[in-house]
Chains A and B, each alone.
Chain A
């Protein structure tokens, strides 16, 4: 059996799970800069599925594709430390302000440039939006089928895949021919840890922009070891219709953002003392709120 060509779609996201008090501004909004940028959790589940296929089908290669600012190269490196073969960073001001549709357009045009593939694997959704839209929108742009909410790959070969899908109410086992898009659920296997050998191999991997600010001493490395070059594409490197990119290419617009002012209710203050809690329980019982 020949090896498969897999593209993993991944996003760098603000860590919405750790919005501690120090990340909150006085007006109740979040200081995004104070949040760590992380590999979107379900995209790591997606990467694990790709690595599982690579373990089982020798010769399989994994390319990680991400769209974002320059620092998003971090997640490409992170993917390489865990077993991805290479990555592409799609980065340009022209993509700024993209909604999910403009994002999926840019990603699908980058995929066309990457060329042949058998499977595209994405996380189900990103934690900064929870929309779950980009995977299916990419599949539609590429006119290929999709299997969403994948929890496990049951079998795969060069022409067909069988997966277990996790639905809201139950599970489904489904099969489909390649090529296709999979989106992977958080209930799927966790991504393996970094591999020490790969960490050594790729720790100096850089995009062109990053190399420009790299230490002179390292520059020769990038000539000697081509695998340390992370591909970086601007809008000029993909074929695109400008009217479908960025803010202009986004049908959805933010009309306004409102600060929610909480109308403080008249609340009863209760301490954790035995007397207070007993009094509360008695009151709730007599008002039939409980019991």
Chain B
């Protein structure tokens, strides 16, 4: 009872990266709360799935194995999770901020009247004193995320409602095996007790999963462009530089909104989190939501016409100048000196 739960996603028989990252974080939080780490997996043909999960320190694994539960569908998955949570009363529930987690999380929170914080960049345990009511809450989940309105970070709590729910994007937390031989307990759910046939209302006619063509997470060098790049045409300079250096192209949300780059290239709090060897920020001001997704890069080069741009404060090299002038020079002198 009152343990920490992680909803684990499955794609083609494998547990999603983001779920393993959350289990790693969940294990640490559970240790400081002195509670168990429990995982929930729903899908089809799940025998042996515990082998992928126990090494992350899962104490109890709830498995709902039924051909109808894969691929993911909103209502049946919601039903299983809601009923399981009603019975188990977790204090904390974590999900990936993915197509699935962002579809499921809000339904579960709405059904249970529990608070949900999206796209957290950090999770901690701490106390809260409500001075007005004269109450002190022990060991709450601090759900930390940048807030709209400038250089600010908000700490959100759910003092009274349980579970305290949060979603986190892939790549924000680090995945780490706790112990290859860690042994937990597997509990198989009787799916028919949780789902009624009427809940399978959605018919998935066709599903076409494509591996993303853009591999930002694995790229050693990222050339990222912002609104300051100015146009889709100018963005082609970034592709050229990335190609020459053997890197990948990323973008800020403002550049994506302006149509300079596709959404799959967005870096930041509500995009992808990256930690490349080298990050070249071109015409990006460096707002907090953007920095959240790249500030752990090993080295950062900022190219900006504004010598006061916030990105400069976290850059190792600050080039004050126009993207359209600087990038061709970088390409030229790279070529000249590597021949």
Q: For the complex, what is the distance from the CA of A167 to the CA of B11, rounded to whole Å?
A: 13
Contact B203 A282 (CB under 8 A): no
Task: Tell me which residues across on chain B come within 8 A of A217, comparing CB atoms.
Answer: none
Taking CB atoms and an 8 Å cut-off, the chain A residues in 144-163 that contact chain B are 145-149, 162
Min CB gap B50→A, angstroms: 25
Across the interface, do B115 and A252 meet the contact criterion of CB distance under 8 Å? yes
Q: Is there contact, CB below 8 Å, between A253 and B159?
A: yes
Stretch at the interface among A49-57, A86-94, A126-134, A198-206: A126-134
Measured CB to CB, the nearest residue on chain A to B299 is: A289
Q: Among the listed stretches A75-83, A208-216, A221-229, A268-276, which one makes contact with chain B, having 4 or more residues with CB under 8 Å of it?
A: A268-276
Instruction: Report A64 CB to chain B, min CB distance, Å.
Output: 22
From A130, A147, A254, contact of B202 by CB (8 A): A147
CA distance A115 to B329 in the complex (A): 63
A253-B158 contact given A137-B107, A260-B151, CB 8 Å threshold? yes
| Contact between B314 and A262, CB atoms less than 8 A apart | yes
The answer to whether A289 touches B119, judged by C-beta atoms less than 8 angstroms apart, is no
Distance to closest chain B CB from A202 (angstroms): 28
Cβ distance B304 to chain A, nearest Cβ, rounded Å: 11
CA distance A23 to B203 in the complex (A): 47
B48 at the interface (CB under 8 A from A): no
Within 8 A of B (CB), among A30-68: 30, 32, 41
Asked if A267 contacts B150 (CB within 8 A), the reply is: no
Q: Which residue in chain B gives the minimum CB-CB distance to A288? A: B277
Q: Is B257 an interface position by the 8 A CB rule?
A: yes
Query: Majority SS of interface residues in chain B?
Result: mixed
* Bound-complex Cα distance A135 to B110 (A): 11
A285–B211 touching, CB < 8 Å: no
| A255 and B156 contact, Cβ closer than 8 Å, known pairs A128-B148, A129-B118, A133-B116 | yes
A39 to B263, CA, bound (A): 20
B149 — which chain A residues lie within 8 A by C-beta?
Answer: 29-30, 32
Minimum CB–CB distance for A222 against chain B, Å: 37
Assess the A272–B322 pair: CB atoms within 8 A: yes
Among B22-30, B84-92, B96-104, the stretch in contact with A? B96-104
Once bound together, how far apart are the Cα atoms of A133 and B109, in whole Å? Answer: 9
CA distance A104 to B204 in the complex (A): 27
B325 touches A281 (CB 8 A): no
Q: Do residues A252 and B157 form an inter-chain contact, with CB atoms below 8 A?
A: yes
Q: Which residues of A contact B337 (CB under 8 A)?
A: 278, 281-282, 285
| Given A169-B211, A260-B288: A24 in contact with B150 (beta carbons within 8 A) | yes
One digit per residue, 1 when the CB lies within 8 angstroms of any chain A CB and 0 when it does not, for chain B 137-174 equals 00000110001111111111111110000000000000
Interface-central residue, A149, A171, A272, by most chain B CB under 10 Å: A272
- Chain B's closest residue to A275 (CB) is B333
Query: A246 near B: Cβ within 8 Å?
Result: no
Collect the chain A residues with CB atoms within 8 Å of residue B158's CB: 251-253
Q: Which residues of B contact A114 (CB under 8 A)?
A: none
Interface of chain A residues 237 through 258 with chain B (CB within 8 A): 244, 250-258
Q: In the complex, what's the smallest C-beta–C-beta distance from B36 to chain A, in angstroms?
A: 23
Q: Indicate which residue in B107, B152, B319 contacts A270 across the interface (CB closer than 8 Å).
A: B319
Instruction: Decide yes or no: A272 and B75 within 8 Å by CB, A128-B148, A251-B114, A290-B334 being known contacts.
Output: no
Task: Judge whether B103 and A170 touch: CB under 8 Å.
Answer: no
Among residues of B, the one whose C-beta sits closest to the C-beta of A262 is B313
Q: Mark A150-194, 1 if CB is under 8 A from B, else 0.
A: 000000000000100001111111111100000000110000000
Say whether B257 contacts A136, CB under 8 Å. Answer: no
Contacts A133-B118, A136-B110, A267-B316 given: A187-B263 contact, CB under 8 Å? yes
In the assembled complex, how far is the CB of residue B143 from the closest CB belonging to chain A, in whole angstroms?
A: 8
Q: Shortest distance in angstroms between B237's beta carbon and chain A's nearest beta carbon? A: 14
**Cβ contact of B153, chosen from A128, A134, A258, cutoff 8 A:** A258
Q: Are B202 and A176 in contact (CB under 8 A)?
A: yes
A residues in contact with B336, CB < 8 Å: 278
Q: Does A2 make an interface contact (CB < 8 A)?
A: no
Per a CB cutoff under 8 Å, which of A25, A136, A259, A290 touches B107?
A136
Q: Across the interface, do A259 and B201 meet the contact criterion of CB distance under 8 Å?
A: no
Within 8 A of A (CB), among B247-264: 254, 257-258, 263
Q: Is the CB of A145 within 8 A of B74?
A: yes
Tell me if B278 and A290 are in contact (CB < 8 A).
yes
Q: Contact check, B153 vs A100: say whether CB atoms are below 8 A apart.
A: no
Is the pair B106, A100 in contact by a Cβ cutoff of 8 Å?
yes
CB <8 Å contact, A267 and B207: no
**In the complex, how many angstroms separate the beta carbon of A175 from the nearest chain B beta carbon?**
5
B119 touches A131 (CB 8 A): yes
Evaluate contact between B118 and A131: CB separation under 8 angstroms.
yes
A186→B263 CA distance, assembly (Å): 9
Q: Which residue among B105, B148, B156, B321 has the maximum number of chain A CB atoms within 10 Å of its CB? A: B148
Q: A17-B257, A285-B337 are in contact. Are A252 and B320 (CB under 8 A)?
A: no
Residue B310 lies at the interface, judged by CB distance under 8 Å to chain A: yes
**What chain B residues lie within 8 Å of A256 (beta carbons)?**
154-155
User: Residue A219 at the B interface, CB < 8 A?
Assistant: no
The proximity string for B residues 315-327 relative to A, scoring 1 for CB distances below 8 Å and 0 otherwise, is 1111111100110
A136 to B269, CA, bound (A): 21
Contact B150 A28 (CB under 8 A): yes
User: Looking across the interface, which residue of chain A has its beta carbon closest to that of B254?
Assistant: A17
Q: List 8 A-B contacts (CB under 8 A).
A: A29-B150, A146-B103, A148-B99, A172-B206, A251-B160, A253-B158, A258-B154, A276-B319
Interface residues, chain A, with chain B CB atoms under 8 Å away? 14, 16-17, 19, 24-25, 27-30, 32, 41, 99-101, 104, 128-141, 145-149, 162, 167-177, 186-187, 244, 250-260, 262-265, 267-272, 274, 276-278, 280-282, 284-285, 289-291
Sort A-B residue pairs by CB-CB distance and give the 10 closest, nearest first.
A272-B321, A251-B115, A252-B115, A29-B150, A140-B110, A251-B161, A136-B106, A28-B151, A131-B118, A137-B110
